[in-house]
A and B are shown apart, each in its own frame.
Chain A
Amino acid sequence: MKAQALSASGPTAARPKPAEFIAFAVLTALLVVAPFALYPFFLATALCFALFAAAFNLLVGYAGLLSFGHALFFGGAAYVAAHAARVWGWPTELSLLAATAFAGLLGLGAGMLSIRRQGIYFSMITLALAQMGYFIALQVPFTHGEDGIQGVPRGKLFGLIPLSDDRVMYYFVLAIFLAGLFAIYRIVHSPFGAVLKAIRENEPRAISLGYSVDSYKLAAFGLSAALAGLAGGTKALVTQSATLTDMHWSMSGEVILMVLLGGMGTMTGPVIGAIFVVAIPEVLNRIGGPDFAQWMTVIQGAIFVVCVLAFRRGLIGEIAARLRRTL
């Protein structure tokens, strides 16, 4: 039980905490009733980004590895799902599975290269690899360059339930999202997750305890990429398209923003952060029109600066810290 002993001194113990469970339950209840108040299409897209952010958080929040290229897995998997569903006519579930597997394998490849260097180099390598993926996607024929893959059929769930209705699609996406989040929850609270946290807190010590740190990092990278791929594939089905936007470096930046805003290393933080980041342009459009929405990049940048300077724990992390103090 070396892993247990290591993480007990860290900020998050390996034992599941009731507070985390309550937050999870509240979130689920809210998401089940949400489509009665908000557009299901918007919500479904937001959930895809939330799963993407949660997958990203698995890597940055628990293993301490800041990937600056996660758009590669999100956008790459979106292309695979879209191509499988539209050109090969694969069933919905199989397309998603293919997207997840593709992103997972891509993640293992990118991970093998990037964990050869540590710290800041890791971030730069992932960014460069993702940029390479972006240019490849721009040039290979099946992605259709600037146009992207359009008109992707959502298909039928289990061959029976048509997913063309946005509300039905939303609940399908919610099921995927909850399954993904549960998987992350299990990973984080497993002995494997405890070792990841140990590596984040003190890598030399984890090495000296005999852990093969690189294989743990690689496994975390692969899992995170696969889940990001599941999110990307699902998003391709929701929006019925896969485009270069999802592979651009600004998407990698956006997912970092979601996790930073919500709270790195918290279970529900990335979800809340994702909903915020997705909602900001919508709200801006509503109150100020397209002129106002132009300032989106500036606002995102400002949130980055404020979060890093004054708010490093993020929204949920800050609340959690307050509660611990009063409890």
Chain B
Amino acid sequence: MIPLLGISTQALFGQLLLGLINGAFYAMLSLGLAVIFGMLNIVNFAHGALYMVGAFAAWFLLSAFHIGYWPALILAPLGVALFGMIIERTMLKRLAGLDHIYGLLLTFGLALIIQGVFQNQFGASGQPYPLPEQLKGGTNLGFMYLPTYRAWAVVFSLSVCLFTWFMIEKTRLGAVLRAATENPELTRAFGINVPRLITLTYGFGVGLAALAGVLAAPIYQVRPLMGADFIIVVFAVVVIGGMGSILGAIGAGFMLGVVEGLTKVFYPQAANIVVFVIMVAVLLVKPTGLFGKKL
């Protein structure tokens, strides 16, 4: 092992990988936030809570029904998406036309309810979630030991992000979605069911958060408050990247995850605040965000 600047390469690349994973989660969450904001004009504060619900759903499927990781990777996001669509239909829908802040306040309230219920049920401690059999172990790359699951988490979330980008930017469905974001009335005039599109968009956005939760379950412990602090960092990521561009959200997510990981190695005291410091710097230099369009 060759030490670099007094830090072993093992620790450096280990944190770098963990940073990439966190970055992948930031990317998936901020992507969902951006898509939801575009269609509903709501900043979904419940996003962190639904990320947690995704992780808990996977844990629950395993402990109650012995349904393993692979089905959970599909079932948990679907369940959360369904739950989200019910919320959209029964509550968020009524906020159309009101000030932005009411959407934030309502979803904040929902986050409190969801997190409170899980905390009463499971306490503050974490539930372990085992690694899936196929992804156990790892490879020694010479300069570092690469755990298979972590590599899988990065590759899979990057593919999901790029797939989402492709769907929104390059397909007909995406074109309809972008049109409805730009001008809902005109899109309706073309015979497109915009309210249904809005519901599906919200479901997709929170499903993405739940998917990140399932991916996180074997790496972090499944805790009721795992999304509470996380969502605040994601908000900072959104401020840095700007919600105007899909690739911007993905890029900013991965980049900040890596920066955070590196800070953990070189100056651990600042690891918690580095994303916020970058946010302050970006606000001073380029207030619209790195990739932001004017909203």
Contacts and interface: CB of A to CB of B under 8 A. Distances in A.
Interface residues of B, number: 44
B277 A123 contact: no
B11 interface: no
B109 A128 contact: no
A298 B108 contact: no
B100 A120 contact: yes
A117 B295 CA distance: 10
A297 B239 contact: no
Q: Interface size bucket, A side?
A: 35 or more
A113 B283 contact: yes
Contact of A125 (B228, B283, B288): B283
B272 A128 contact: no
B112 interface: yes
Contacts, number: 120
Interface in B110-156: 110-117, 119-120
A260 interface: yes
Contacts of B287: 116-117
B276 to A, nearest CB: 4
A131 B120 contact: no
A118 B105 CA distance: 17
B119 A309 contact: no
Contacts of A132: 273, 276-277, 280
Contacts of B269: 139
Interface string A217-255: 000000000000000000000000000000001000100
A120 B43 contact: yes
B295 A128 contact: no
A136 interface: yes
Interface of A: 60, 66, 68, 113-114, 116-117, 119-121, 123-125, 127-129, 131-132, 135-136, 138-139, 249, 253, 256, 260, 294-298, 300-305, 307-309, 312
20 contacts: A120-B37, A121-B239, A123-B43, A124-B235, A124-B238, A124-B239, A128-B232, A128-B239, A128-B276, A131-B236, A135-B272, A249-B232, A260-B105, A295-B116, A297-B116, A304-B105, A304-B110, A304-B112, A305-B110, A312-B98
